[in-house]
Structure 1
Amino acid sequence: MEWWGTALELGEVGIEMDLHTASSLGYLDVVEKLLGSGRNVNEKNVSGWTPIMYSCVYKRVELVKFLIAKGADKRVVTGCGRTLFILAAIAGNIEIATDVFIKELLDACDQFGKNAIKYATEHENMDIVSFILTQINQPETLMGNNRNIIDMHLQYENGYNVPGHKSLEELLREYGLEKYWTIFKSNNITLMQFLHMTEPDMKQIGISTLGARRKLSRLILNLKIGV
């Protein structure tokens, strides 16, 4: 398994912070100063990682944008073959994922045979799953283990219902989540709309607790992948 390390382990105690540590900790001013002094934005450390890789892993949105503006290579891969987009899919930050997205690398797999949509699904980062699906013009390019996800998405886009469920109320009741029905009802959320919701969407309509949003997101994910 690839080691990401921790932010503090990457620097040397008592010595001025290095570029990779500053990038992982989100210290934009330090990164700007180091690059201004002539440091290479694509410099690799002993682990073969560049600064932007750490910013992706630790979800440093502003730093990712800054490093890209300074010429950071968005096509770099880790030692085990993970692209920046895969790192973002694992970390679960949709803004970073869209910033580092390169369409021709969408189906790139690491040495474990997993691509971004596989990792986003495993980590239940559904906003990234949804983003990936919207980018697919030819779904067969991401078939294999992702076939169920693609099939379900195409069914939704063509207006098909989830097999066995006639309404959102019925679905929630079957999975013991009926107490949230009144919130969806008051916001006029249909079953099809529910199946495309992200956790921020749920929070916006009044589902305030993280645990509730996670349960509902897990249900959506399970329905999309057919489990």
Structure 2
Amino acid sequence: MSELEETWTEKSFYDKPLKVWLGNEDCNDDGCLQLDVFTAASIGCLDRVKEIIRQDKSMCDKKNSSGWTALMYAAHYGHMDIIDFLLESKASVHVRNHHGCNALMVAAVCGNDTIVEILIKAGSILETRDNRDWTALFHAVCTGYHNVVALLLKHRVNLNSCERATGMTPLMYAAKMGDIGLVKALLQKGAATSLTTHQGHTAARIAQDAGFYEVAAAITQCGLQVGSAPSLYDGPAAIEARRTDQQANQRTSRSNSTTPSVDNTNVQPTDLETLLGQLGLSSYMNVFREQDVDLQVFLTLTDQDLKECGIQKLGPRRKMTSAIARWHSNAPLRSDVECAYADKLEVEMQELGMKLAEAMKTLKQTKTQVSQENDLRVVTEGWVVEARGRLQECHQRGQLLMSHISTVQQCVSILSSQPPSVPSPLMQPAIYSTLRENITHITGQTEAILALTDPSTPRGPRSPLLTRKTL
């Protein structure tokens, strides 16, 4: 490269084509390559970046052969003016390179806390994972940038996320490095000390094996403050119970960490317009604007709600309901064959759920009806018991009535057998007295029977439960 004149400024140097870099100043400007957007973003040439973006908006998220975008280069080299311009031009903070890293991870690796703050405010998701299952916190811890770690902790990043392959957490990496400052910062924010790797090693064990005894002691002391572990004097049962609790907590933490809020192959959008754009349904955005439906409301809509909003076509409604179901399941919003089959299964599961709900409703109604029938049966049984009792009482009184009638018949027979010419003054008073007494009894029994069979008298069991037991 030929020597440059001292009168050149930095801006004029950036405006020169690549002939300056190639050392060929004799070629015409028209025949030499100009700076591309990636090179301009990496060296901080804002004017060239603006010129390229204004000519083609798609260059905001354009990737080079390594999967890097202009935003990643600007984040790596700390050019905040270019980052501000790219974000104003709607550059996506969710795009990732071939290693799965986004601009936030690149800034974390370089220790650019100011840029990390800008990207987080722009909507970059803290729990996005790269191909190694690392979040931005992993990158900041492993590069030892305390300022970036503190900033991520301020925004409440997940402290206990772990690698699926090894089970390592950010605290374990900090312990392995022997960085007591990072370890204390993570412990103060509540990093779990009881988690273990797939080999069963805790963060304290990792620090001890690496020879960082001060770090191991700090982790152990924090674990004792959280909950005192049983000693040998407590017996093997207490130690086994403690170990079981730790394994349960570890499984819970791993299940939470292995289900990140962002899928490795797709990033959840942060607004309704982006979501509809991913589904290819941007034309329906005006419908939702008229109904004042944002992303939060959209994620609660059902198929019937979408019909009420004015979306009558079945295809778009099915895509939207599938996307809503995938969002709540933390599943990717892709539209390939596997996802279509999964959506079909999801629809079938929803239909089965609706049928189950209907069956449970029918079962509840049936139980109510059976309960009413049981109550009616108890009342009916009470009536039957009372009717049987009255029938038995009528039968007993009828038997007494028949005996009195028989006595009357005998008295009448005696009186009729005597000739009227031969009166018996000694027998007649006794017979007449017997007749009067039996007639009185007959009258009383007849009145009782009439009272028991009177239909105008209100009747019914006093206590259905008692009458049911006596049935």
For normalisation by structure 1, the TM-score amounts to 0.57
Please point out which of 10, 13, 33 is paired with 2:51.
Answer: 33
- Residue 63 of structure 1 is matched in structure 2 by 82
- Cα-to-partner distance string for 1:135-157 (whole Å, 9 max, x where unaligned): 117644579512465751236xx
* Displacement of 1:103: 6.7
In structure 2, the CA distance between the partners of 1:144 and 1:108, relative to structure 1 (3 Å rule), is: farther
* Displacement of 1:32: 1.0
The residue matched to 1:105 in structure 2 has which SS? coil
For normalisation by structure 2, the TM-score amounts to 0.29
The residue matched to 2:156 in structure 1 has which SS? coil
Written as runs of structure 1 = structure 2, the 5 A alignment for 1:1-227 is: 13=22, 14-40=32-58, 41-101=60-120, 105-136=125-156, 139-140=159-160, 144-147=168-171, 149=183, 152-154=187-189
- Measured in 2, the distance between the counterparts of 1:92 and 1:35 equals 27
The residue matched to 2:62 in structure 1 has which SS? coil
Percent of matched pairs sharing the same residue: 22
Conserved 8 A contact 1:75-1:83:
yes
The residue matched to 1:80 in structure 2 has which SS? coil
* Displacement of 1:46: 2.3
The residue matched to 1:47 in structure 2 has which SS? coil
* Displacement of 1:16: 0.9
In structure 2, the CA distance between the partners of 1:137 and 1:74, relative to structure 1 (3 Å rule), is: closer
1 or 2 for the larger relative contact order (CA 8 Å, sep ≥6)? 1
The residue matched to 2:107 in structure 1 has which SS? helix
Conserved 8 A contact 2:126-2:157:
no
Whose Rg is larger? 2
- Measured in 2, the distance between the counterparts of 1:151 and 1:44 equals 35
AA aligned to 2:188 is: H
User: Where do 5+ consecutive residues of structure 2 fail to align?
Assistant: 1-17, 23-31, 173-182, 191-214, 221-471
Conserved 8 A contact 1:43-1:50:
yes
The residue matched to 1:68 in structure 2 has which SS? helix
* Displacement of 1:112: 2.2
- Residue 179 of structure 2 is matched in structure 1 by none
- Measured in 1, the distance between the counterparts of 2:87 and 2:52 equals 15
Which has a greater percent of helix? 2
- Measured in 2, the distance between the counterparts of 1:22 and 1:104 equals 23
Moved over 3 A (4+): 11-14, 137-144, 147-151
Conserved 8 A contact 1:86-1:115:
yes
- Measured in 1, the distance between the counterparts of 2:85 and 2:46 equals 8
- Measured in 2, the distance between the counterparts of 1:17 and 1:36 equals 15
The residue matched to 2:189 in structure 1 has which SS? helix
User: Where do 5+ consecutive residues of structure 1 fail to align?
Assistant: 1-10, 156-221
Q: What is the count of residue pairs matched by the alignment?
A: 151
Conserved 8 A contact 2:93-2:123:
no
The residue matched to 1:49 in structure 2 has which SS? coil
Root-mean-square deviation over aligned CA pairs: 3.1
